[in-house]
Amino acid sequence: MIDDGLLRELLSRNARWAQSANIANFTQSDRPGEPPRILWIGCADSRVPESVITSSNPGEIFVHRNIANQVHLNDTNLLSLVQFAVNNLHVEHVIVVGHEDCGGVQACLPGQPPPDPPLGLHLEEWLKPLTLYAKVLPALQPPVGGNPLEILIRENVKLQVTNLSNMIQTLTLEGPHVHGWIYDVRNGRLRDVNDEDK
Can you give the CATH number for the domain in which 161 is found?
3.40.1050.10
Say if residues 81 and 64 touch (Cβ distance below 8 Å): yes
Around Cβ 32, how many Cβ atoms within 10 Å?
6
Give the β-pairing of 93-99 and 38-43.
Answer: parallel
Q: Tell me what pLDDT residue 7 has.
A: 87
Determine, yes or no, domain membership for 22: no
Determine, yes or no, domain membership for 23: no
Q: Which of 4, 13, 31, 47 is flagged as catalytic? A: 47
More reliable by pLDDT, 3 or 195? 195
Q: What is the mean pLDDT of residues 142-149?
A: 83
Catalytic site residue 102? yes
Domain count across the chain: 1
pLDDT level of residue 24 (50, 70, 90 thresholds): low
Binding residues: 43, 45, 99, 102
The residue segments making up the domain with residue 138 are 34-196
Q: Which of 64, 99, 108, 154 is flagged as catalytic? A: 99
More reliable by pLDDT, 146 or 77? 77
Determine, yes or no, domain membership for 7: no
pTM, full prediction: 0.87
Determine, yes or no, domain membership for 117: yes
Catalytic site residue 13? no
pLDDT digits (tens, 9 = 90+) for 52-71: 999 998 889 999 999 999 99
More reliable by pLDDT, 184 or 3? 184
Q: Tell me what pLDDT residue 31 has.
A: 47
Say if residues 181 and 190 touch (Cβ distance below 8 Å): yes
Binding residues for Zn(2+): 43, 45, 99, 102
Determine, yes or no, domain membership for 136: yes
